[in-house]
């Protein structure tokens, strides 16, 4: 870039003030790409006999990482339509990457027997378009 061009740009920035400086200095392309490349992480914790949060909303086609943990014992985490079938250990977190391909309401259940309330241990997953 020629010096004269640079001083013209600097002049414009100085005249236009803080707002313009903000706009000029944003490396928009790089930041936006990085943001969309990294899937959102949703933390879900399990204990007898519930998942917290008990309800999440995902976007169809948008990859997410479900970071699962348990505070008491091993639990299951299963939903056939969402293609999830895993156990949640109670000594470490477990990451499950999913990209929902169908919109709708789904239920994740604990399919690892964990006690008398086990049958009602569920989480609602809503996938929106
Ligand atoms: Cu269970």
Ligand 1 centroid–CA 119 distance in Å is: 7
Its pTM surpasses 0.75: no
Ligand 1 centroid–CA 41 distance in Å is: 23
80-108 per-position pLDDT tens digit: 999 999 999 999 999 999 999 999 999 99
Q: CA 112, CA 67: separation in Å to the nearest integer?
A: 18
The answer to whether 118 touches 47, Cβ cutoff 8 Å, is no
* Confidence bin at 37 (pLDDT 50/70/90): confident
Q: Helices (DSSP H) in the chain: which residue ranges?
A: 3-16, 18-25, 28-37
Ligand 1 centroid–CA 92 distance in Å is: 18
Ligand 1 centroid–CA 118 distance in Å is: 4
51-90 per-position pLDDT tens digit: 999 999 999 999 999 999 999 999 999 999 999 999 999 9
Ligand 1 centroid–CA 89 distance in Å is: 12
């Amino acid at each position: 870039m020629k010096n004269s061009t640079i001083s013209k740009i600097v002049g414009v920035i100085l005249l236009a003030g803080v707002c313009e400086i903000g706009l000029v200095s944003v490396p928009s392309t790089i930041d936006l790409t990085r943001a969309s490349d990294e899937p959102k992480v949703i933390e879900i914790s399990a204990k007898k006999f519930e998942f917290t949060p008990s309800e999440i909303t995902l976007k169809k086609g948008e990859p997410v990482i479900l970071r699962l943990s348990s505070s008491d014992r091993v639990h299951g985490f299963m939903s056939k339509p969402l293609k999830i079938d895993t156990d949640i250990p109670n000594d470490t977190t477990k990451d499950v990457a999913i990209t929902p391909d169908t919109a709708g309401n789904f239920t994740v259940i604990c399919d690892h027997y964990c006690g008398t309330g086990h049958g009602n241990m569920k989480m609602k997953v809503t996938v929106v378009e």
